[in-house]
Chains A and B, each alone.
Chain A
Amino acid sequence: MSTRSANRKSSIPELVIRPEYEISDIAQAKTGDVARKLSLVERIWNINGVRKVVILLGLVSAWQAYTVGLDVEPLMLPSFLVSLTTLFNALFYGDLIYKVWFSVKVLLIGYSAGLALAAILILWATANRFGSDFIAMATAMFNPLPAIALLPLAMLWFGLGTPSLVFVLIHSVLWAVALSTHSGFENVSHTLRMIGRNYGLKGIFYVLKILFPAALPSILAGMKIGWAFAWRTLIGAELVFGASSGSGGLGWYIFESSQNIDTDGVFAGLFMVILFGIVVENVVFRNIEIRTVNRWGMQR
C-alpha cells in the first residue's frame, strides 16, 4: 500500500495541451444506414409466440416418438395422440364438459364468497386498529394452514357436498387476499394518502378512490395467489371426496380414470386442468393487469 501511494505521487502526469480543431462540413458525411429494419426471418424468430409454439411441438413429438417408438405400455404412459383423442371424445361424446362446469361453478362461488369476506374484513381493518390487529393475527395463523386440511371438519359440519367444498375454497382465498390487501394498504405512500385527504375524501370513498387503486398491484397479486390456492384445493378436494358429493367435478374425473386404470383418461383430465389454468392466468388475470396496473405504469 505504501509503495502504491509512493509510486503514484512520484509519477503524476501533466496535462497535454494540443491545438483545437473544428469540422465544418459534417452534414455531408455518408452515414451508411443510420437505422435499418431487421430482416424478415430475424423478426419472425424474435416473436416469442413463434418460438414457444415450435418448442411445444418439439416436446409433444418427443413424447409421441418415445411412446410409439419404444412401445411403452399404454397403461403406464399413453401416447400423446391417444390422450388427445380421449380428451376429444370425453369432451364431445362423454360428460367431461359437465364435470368441468361443475368444478368451475363451485370454484366461482367459493372464490367470490372469499373475495367478499376479504373485502368486509379489510374495510373493518381500515376503520379501526382493533380490526387491523385482528386481521394481522388471523392471516398470520390461517394463511399457513392448507385449506384442504379443513375438509374433514367441513364435511362434519356441512355434510358431503358442495357446501363443504365452498367452505374450504373460501378459506383458501380469504386469507391470501386479506393478507396481501392489508399489506398493500399499509404500503400506500404517505404522499398519496395526504393527496386524498387534501381533496376531502373520507371513509369508504377514501378507501375506494385512493387506497384501493394505489394498492391494486398487491391486491391483484393476492387474488392470483388466492386463485392458485383455490384451484389446487378444489382439485385436491375432488380427488379425495368428489365421489361422495354425488356428481363429481374435474378432479373426480381424474381420480375415477386412475381407479379404472384408464391412464389416457387421466391425461385427458390433466390437459383440461392445464387448459383451464392457462385461460384463467394468461387470459383473465393478464387482461386485468394490462388494463390496470400495467397501463398505470405501476408494474412492468
Chain B
Amino acid sequence: MSTMPNVLVRSEFEAADIGKAETGDVARKLTLFERISDMNSVRKLSILVLVIAAWELYTRFSGVSELILPKFSATAEALYLAVVSEQLLAMVWNSMTVLVTGYAIGLAIATLLTTAATMTRFGNDILSTLTAMLNPLPAIALLPLALLWFGLGADAIIFTLLHSVIWPVALNAHVGFMSVSETQRMVGQNYGLRGLVYVAKLLIPAAFPQILMGLKIGWAYAWRTLIAAELVFGGSISDTSEGASGGLGWFIFANQMDLQIAHVFAGLFTVILVGVFVENVIFNAIENRTVRRWGMQAR
C-alpha cells in the first residue's frame, strides 16, 4: 500500500495535421511462386501426382505380386479397357438408375412425413419415435427381408435404399424446421404467409442448411447401401434382369472372384469418381448457390 503509485498528470495535446505520413509498403503483391503455391488446387494436384508416382515406383521395383497390388499403369489400363469394351459405363448407369429411383421416392416419403410432423404434434411424435428406432438400423440389414418380400431384383434394392434415405432426410429436415427462429416465423406470418405458402417461402429456405445436411447424409447412406447390396446380391439380381450387366458393386465382386485385381482397382476408382462427383460437384454447387451465399452455413 505504501508504494501505491499516484496518477501522473501530463499536459494534453492534439495533433493538427495528420495525413501525409510516408507509409512505405502499405500493400505489396506476393511473388509469383508464393501465389502459385497458395493455390489449393495446385498443391492438391501435386500431392496426387506424388502419391501416384510413389505407387507406380513401389509396384515396379519391389516385386510385389500383381494379385496383391497391381501397378498404377495396369489399373489405368484396366479402367480404360473396362470402359471401352466391358460396358463399365452401362454398369454405372444401372447403379445410378436404381440409386436415383430409390433416392427420389425416399425424398417424397420423407417430405410427407416431415410435413405431417410439422403440422401436428401427433405427427411430430410419430416421426421422432420412428426415426429414433429406425435410423440406427443399417438399411442393408433389411435386404434379406426385402429379397423375401420382393424377390430378387431392383425392387428389393430400391426398398432398402428407401429405408437408407427416408430417416436421415426426415430427421434433419424436421430438426431444421423446429429450429427456425421464432422471429423469422413471426415475420412470415406478419406478411400474411399461411399454410403451404408459409412452408415453401419461409420454413424451407430458413431450414435449408439442415435440410441439405440431411440430403447429403441420405445420399452417403444410399450410396453405401447400394454398393453393399450389389456386392452381396448383385450377381443373382443381374441374372434375372434382362440387361444381364449388373451394377458397379457387381463389377468389383465379379472381378475379385476372377482375381482380376487391376479391374477391382478400376472399379474402386469408378466408385470414388462417382462419389467425388456427387459430393464435390453437385452438392458443392448447391451449397455455393444457397447456404454459402446466404451466410447460413451450419458452422
B138 touches A137 (CB 8 A): no
**Segment from B82-90, B124-132, B184-192, B197-205 that makes contact with A:** B124-132
Residues of chain B contacted by A273 (CB below 8 angstroms): 136-138, 141
**Contact pattern, B 58-100, Cβ under 8 Å of A = 1, otherwise 0:** 0000000001100000000000000000000000000000000
Could you jot down 14 A-B contacts, CB within 8 Å?
A: A133-B47, A141-B272, A144-B271, A144-B272, A144-B275, A144-B276, A145-B275, A146-B223, A147-B224, A240-B231, A261-B148, A266-B144, A274-B133, A282-B132
Q: Which of B167-221 contact A (CB under 8 A)?
A: 179, 217, 220-221
A236 touches B268 (CB 8 A): no
B125 touches A52 (CB 8 A): yes
Q: Which residue of A134, A156, A232 contacts B67 across the interface (Cβ within 8 Å)?
A: A156
A141-B272, A144-B274, A153-B261 known; 12 other A-B pairs, CB under 8 Å? Answer: A48-B125, A56-B133, A137-B48, A148-B231, A149-B227, A152-B256, A153-B256, A232-B228, A236-B228, A255-B144, A258-B147, A270-B141
Helix, strand, loop or mixed for chain B's interface?
helix
Residues of chain A contacted by B217 (CB below 8 angstroms): 225
A232 touches B280 (CB 8 A): no
Residues of chain A contacted by B159 (CB below 8 angstroms): none
A281 touches B128 (CB 8 A): no
Chain B residue with the shortest CB-CB distance to A269: B141
A148, B276: Cα distance in complex, Å: 17
Most buried by A among B43, B48, B225, B279: B43
> Does B44 touch A at the CB level, under 8 Å?
yes
Q: Which of B220-272 contact A (CB under 8 A)?
A: 220-221, 223-225, 227-228, 231-232, 249, 252-253, 256, 261, 264, 267-268, 271-272
> Shortest CB–CB separation between residue A103 and chain B, in angstroms?
12
Residues of chain A contacted by B225 (CB below 8 angstroms): 232, 236
Q: How many residues of B contact A (CB 8 A)?
A: 56
> Shortest CB–CB separation between residue B131 and chain A, in angstroms?
11
**Contact pattern, A 215-243, Cβ under 8 Å of B = 1, otherwise 0:** 00110000001001101110110011000
A270 touches B128 (CB 8 A): no
B43 touches A142 (CB 8 A): no
A133 touches B43 (CB 8 A): yes
Residues of chain B contacted by A151 (CB below 8 angstroms): 231
**Contact pattern, A 122-138, Cβ under 8 Å of B = 1, otherwise 0:** 00000001100110110
B148 touches A150 (CB 8 A): no
> Shortest CB–CB separation between residue A299 and chain B, in angstroms?
10
A83, B295: Cα distance in complex, Å: 50
> Does B299 touch A at the CB level, under 8 Å?
yes
Given A55-B129, A270-B141, A274-B136, A148–B224 Cβ distance below 8 Å?
yes
User: Chain B interface (Cβ within 8 Å of chain A)?
Assistant: 40, 43-44, 47-48, 67-68, 125-126, 128-129, 132-145, 147-149, 179, 217, 220-221, 223-225, 227-228, 231-232, 249, 252-253, 256, 261, 264, 267-268, 271-272, 274-276, 278-280, 299
Given A52-B128, A152-B231, A144–B278 Cβ distance below 8 Å?
yes
Most buried by B among A48, A251, A274: A274
Q: Please name the 7 residue pairs, one residue from A and one from B, whose CB atoms are nearest each other, closest first.
A: A144-B275, A277-B136, A258-B144, A152-B256, A232-B138, A146-B224, A236-B228
Q: Which residue of A184, A229, A257 contacts B224 across the interface (Cβ within 8 Å)?
A: A229
B227 touches A146 (CB 8 A): yes
B134 touches A152 (CB 8 A): no
A133, B224: Cα distance in complex, Å: 26
Residues of chain A contacted by B68 (CB below 8 angstroms): 156-157
Given A141-B272, A148-B231, A149-B252, A239–B43 Cβ distance below 8 Å?
no
> Does A140 touch B at the CB level, under 8 Å?
yes
